[in-house]
Chains A and B, each alone.
Chain A
Amino acid sequence: MLLLQVIVGGLLLGAIYALFSSGLTLIWGMMNFINFAHGEFVMLGMYVSLLVVVWLGGGPAAFGFTAAFSLFVLGVFVYLSLIRYVLRGPMLSQILSTFGLALLLRYTAFWIFSANFVSLPQTSLSGTLNVGGVLMPVPQLVAGVIAILLTIGLHLMLTRTKVGSQLLAVSEDRGAAMLMGIRPDRMQALAWGLSAGAAGIAGALMAIAYPWSPSVGETFGLTAFVVVALGGFGSVPGALLAGLIIGLIQALSAFWFGPIYKDIIVYALFVALLWLRPQGLMGKA
């Protein structure tokens, strides 16, 4: 029964991994660009939630929306002011732009919020649910379920709506999309907004259920790389499946080998993937 408990816990955390990783995979799939600051976006979403709760006394709906919206704006801003210019530049610029941004955000957060772990004050979401002997904390459960729904929602948006088709058109063939009257620059800015917004709301969901410090951004960023690599670069359903798998692997390795090994095993999996199956589970070969 304890094992079942661990599995459920891992899947619920994995659902949040899936949500923010789908943001990363969207950018990768669309413009062959990897965002080293993605984990920092999640971290910012968590602090935005904290500020909304502490300063404005907002509930989960309020801080969830605020985190998503403010990170959406940040994502668009980062694209328009930085990414747009390095996208066609040398590899050095592409890597260093978001790598530098990650450092800037991470250490600014350290400076403002200190390195201490914080968590949200008790919200209306609390207590545990007993489902057939498996104890599920309500915050984790709500966060996990919403994360899965949002990831599916993002996938539906990309595949079923006009805007989604336009986004996919730009990722398939920028030039042809332009001839069809789509503005690639605007679509890419939107993609950055969606990507960062997904990270922001994932941060808000994470904040409901788990404590954090400014350094979580680095861990989440690397975890997102592994999820995206496992799921297949550019695939949102792949990210969903892989996020759940990674959450499960983390929980089980923490359970069997000790908490320190959960990240080690996931990073090692990344290297193994590059050797064995670089296109991931659902990626294009």
Chain B
Amino acid sequence: MKIPSISPTILLAAALLIYPLVFSGAFYLDVGVTFLLAAISASAWNIVGGYAGQVSVGHAMFFGLGAYAPLLCYTLFQWAPIAGIPFGIVFSIALAVLIGIPTFRLTGHYFSMATIAVAELIRIYFGTWDLVGAAIGLQGPATARGWWDLTFRSELPYYYIFLAVLAVLLYLTFMIERRRFGYYLRAIKAGERAARSLGVPVQQTKIKALVLSAVFTSLAGSLYSVKTGFIDPESGFGILVSVQMVIIAALGGAGRLYGPLVGALILIPLQTATNTWFGGGGTGLTFILYGGIIVLIARYEPGGLFELWERIAPRRWRHKNAS
């Protein structure tokens, strides 16, 4: 187990901190915020999908619950949207346990199938449920009634809030990596039977990982809806929300601390570029491309770019830069 050396981490933190000061245009700021949000959700996915090796293809269910909760609290009770965040988290935890308990007794395929089925179920149901605005969705406060509404004209405050959340999540993941829980997760990923025979509480560990992952995915959803002030079933629970988490984490390196960051660093600019070049029609092409990339990762580089780098980079480079 390699522990990230301090220097790349500090370099990364510094780069992310000064990014908005260097690229202060609204467009670059928007790309930066999108990057951070994608990195947060993919890092959250990474805990259960990467470290524990339980591949969820329906993480949008947690993202969507997290995204709906703040705007629902605002719509129903006129609360500040952030007051809804805990509700999103509570519902996400409940859902994680509901899915985790039956599927984690079976092989990993059942978990993947259940996640996509439940995410679709919720998406369809929210599309017909009047309380949550059915297919139209929900809106947040149009103008800020106070700082607590977190409705800013510039995206700069969001950038730093998201950066702080990402830092907390990565620090937590870093701590997990070094503790017993992290070793349990890797043992389960490497071989469940072997792990069990060595006394790893497999079921309990997998559920813990899923719950932790769900909490942060839900938080990412809340941040998204508080920032955009709008949510509908497709942007909350759509399959593409799940796809984005999977592909970003897997492209960088599933089960690697900085894997999702690397994935987001490549994919978000790529996505922005295709959307800018091809306009609205680019979205379809983007997802064809996503599908292709996912197949290629599965076939050739399940370890993602991190492992590819470790294999092909010259030795002297590897020692300095590998994390």
Give me the interface of A with B, judged by CB distance under 8 Å: 32-34, 36, 82, 85-86, 89-97, 99-108, 110-111, 218, 222, 225-226, 229, 260, 263-264, 267-268, 270-271, 274-275, 278
State in angstroms the CA–CA spacing of A90 and B303 once bound together.
10
Can you list 25 A-B pairs, Cβ within 8 angstroms, ordered by A? A34-B109, A34-B112, A90-B53, A92-B49, A92-B55, A92-B298, A94-B298, A95-B57, A95-B108, A96-B298, A97-B298, A99-B246, A100-B291, A100-B296, A103-B288, A103-B291, A107-B284, A107-B285, A226-B117, A260-B124, A267-B118, A274-B110, A274-B114, A275-B102, A278-B106
- CB-based nearest B residue for A95: B55
User: Cβ of A107 and Cβ of B291 under 8 Å apart?
Assistant: yes
Query: Which chain A residues border B128 with CB–CB below 8 Å?
Result: 260
The answer to whether the Cβ of B287 comes within 8 Å of any Cβ in the partner chain is yes
Q: Does B121 contact A (CB under 8 A)?
A: yes
A274 to B99, CA, bound (A): 9
List, in ascending order, chain A residues with CB within 8 A of B108's CB: 91, 94-95
- Given the complex, which residues of B lie within 8 Å of A226, measured CB to CB? 117
* CB proximity of B131 to chain A, nearest CB, Å: 15
Contact of B120 among A92, A218, A278 (CB under 8 A): A218
Query: Using an 8 Å CB-CB cutoff, how does the interface string of B279-317 with A read, 1 for contact, 0 for none?
Result: 000001101101111111111001000000000000000
Q: Which of B67-113 contact A (CB under 8 A)?
A: 98-99, 101-103, 105-110, 112-113
Contact A85 B124 (CB under 8 A): no
Q: Does B150 contact A (CB under 8 A)?
A: no
Q: Is the CB of B99 within 8 A of A100?
A: no
Whether B109 and A32, one on each chain, are in contact in the complex, defined by CB atoms closer than 8 angstroms, is: yes
Smallest Cβ distance from A246 to chain B, in angstroms?
A: 13
| B171 within 8 A of partner (CB) | no
Residues of B within 8 A of A101 (CB): 291, 295
> What A residues does B101 contact at CB under 8 A?
275
| Bound form: Cα–Cα A205–B106 in Å | 34
Which chain A residues lie closer than 8 Å to B294 at the CB level?
Answer: 96, 99-100, 103
Contact across chains for A104 and B292 when beta carbons are under 8 A apart: yes
Report the separation of the CA atoms of residues A110 and B291 in the bound assembly, to the nearest whole angstrom. Answer: 13
A34–B57 alpha-carbon span in the complex (Å): 13
Question: Which among A33, A92, A102, A268 is the interface contact of B291 at CB below 8 angstroms?
Answer: A102
Contact of B114 (CB < 8 Å), options: A93, A96, A270: A270
Distance A250 CA – B227 CA, assembled complex (angstroms): 39
B118 touches A82 (CB 8 A): no
Tell me which residues from 118 to 173 in chain B have a Cβ below 8 Å from any Cβ of chain A.
118, 120-121, 124-125, 127-128
Given contacts A111-B285, A278-B105, whether A225 and B113 have CB atoms under 8 Å apart is yes
Q: Which residue of A lies closest to B56 (CB)?
A: A95
Instruction: Given A91-B55, A107-B287, decide whether A85 and B117 contact each other with a Cβ distance below 8 A.
Output: no
Given contacts A218-B120, A264-B124, contact A95 B112 (CB under 8 A): yes
Contact indicator B291/A104 (Cβ below 8 Å): yes
- Give the nearest-CB partner of B290 in chain A: A103
Rounded to whole angstroms, the CA-CA distance of A96 and B128 in the bound complex is: 30
CA distance A92 to B252 in the complex (A): 13
Check if B55 sits within 8 Å of A271, measured CB to CB. Answer: no
Task: Tell me whether chain B's interface is mostly helix, strand or loop, or mixed.
Answer: helix
**Chain B residues bordering chain A, tally (CB within 8 A):** 49
What residues of chain B lie closer than 8 Å to A104, measured between beta carbons?
Answer: 288, 291-292, 295
Identify 10 new A-B residue pairs, CB closer than 8 A, beyond the known A85-B299, A100-B298, A264-B124.
A32-B109, A92-B49, A97-B299, A104-B292, A105-B291, A111-B288, A267-B117, A271-B118, A271-B121, A278-B110
Residues of B with C-beta under 8 A to A92: 49, 53, 55, 250, 254, 298, 302
Q: Contact between B113 and A93 (Cβ–Cβ < 8 Å)?
A: no
- Nearest-neighbor residue (CB-CB) of B296 within chain A: A100
Say yes or no for B16: interface residue by CB 8 A criterion.
no
Residue B212 CB within 8 A of the other chain: no
Asked if residues B98 and A271 are in contact (CB atoms below 8 Å), the reply is: yes
| Contact pattern, B 220-249, Cβ under 8 Å of A = 1, otherwise 0 | 000000000000000000010001001000
Cross-chain contact of A222 among B120, B284, B285 (Cβ < 8 A): B120
Residues of A with C-beta under 8 A to B295: 82, 96-97, 100-101, 104
Q: Are A264 and B57 in contact, CB atoms less than 8 angstroms apart?
A: no
Residues of B within 8 Å of A34, CB to CB, are 109, 112-113
Alpha-carbon distance between A244 and B164 when the two chains are bound, in angstroms: 53
Report A-chain residues with C-beta under 8 Å of the C-beta of B302. Answer: 89-90, 92-93, 96
A271 touches B107 (CB 8 A): no
- Collect the chain B residues with CB atoms within 8 Å of residue A106's CB: 287, 291
A268 touches B103 (CB 8 A): no
Asked if B250 and A96 sit within 8 Å, CB to CB, the answer is yes
Complex Cα spacing A275 to B108, Å: 15
Inter-chain contact A103/B287, CB cutoff 8 Å: yes
Complex Cα gap A101–B55 (Å): 16
Interface assignment of B195: CB less than 8 Å from any CB of chain A: no
- In the assembled complex, the Cα of A111 lies from the Cα of B283 at a distance in Å of 10
Q: A100-B292, A271-B99 are in contact. Are A263 and B53 (CB under 8 A)?
A: no
Residue of B nearest to A96 (CB): B298
Question: Chain B's nearest CB lies how many Å from the CB of A5?
Answer: 25
- B302 nearest CB neighbor, chain A only: A93
Distance A42 CA – B53 CA, assembled complex (angstroms) = 30
Whether, in the assembled complex, B116 has its beta carbon less than 8 Å from a beta carbon of chain A, the answer is: yes
B124, A99: Cβ atoms closer than 8 Å: no
| CB pair B291 A264 closer than 8 Å | no
Contacts of A264 in B (CB 8 A): 121, 124-125
